[in-house]
Structure 1
């Protein structure tokens, strides 16, 4: 079974950054990454994939239109099986509290600690195996 991670961010350079950080994993087929430029696009993609191949959603909080925090309860209602980690430049206690209350399993602050994120992805891959 091929598994993938959905990354939601309106910044165009995020896709290049993630592809560069995980290039070996992506090249080897260990997992795939899909990118959505907005919360509505991410909700549509999560709804399209009804099988368990979606193992993790990583979402920016601050996006135009629907924010990541507004998307969070909707994606959790649609896909309660898929863990969501929020990403923000502002990792204050209030933002963390809101993210956890709305269903996130964690919050990463920018700049992203890719070693920590890799550990989280490894955990999800083990659970999916």
Structure 2
């Protein structure tokens, strides 16, 4: 049983696909800057530094978005907001922890939601967060 104002699966998947496209563009640009400034990153240790840098760039984008309005661009498009259990804004600790746990457990956290009694992702269950469906802003006819 999912929470009543929780987004349904088709909306969640569409938002994730859109988010992936946005992240690819952000990470492509970040890699371009890295290579311009530091040169090739095909050999260790430069490759490992680049990987860590990209993880931090992605985290910076997501955490900042979750802290400032609870939505990334993809979440705004699909009217999804991440909130704490009470429906308020995430604090820095929650947002950072949510990103780290989602990164560590990657796909497992999303599969968890299929079996969770409230439909929460693992990283949301562990950090006290949840996804909320935003009401439509279209004017009534």
Per the normalisation by structure 2, the TM-score is 0.29
Tell me which structure has the larger Cα radius of gyration.
Answer: 2
RCO (CA 8 Å, sep 6+): is it higher in 1 or 2?
Answer: 2
Greater strand fraction, Structure 1 or Structure 2: 1
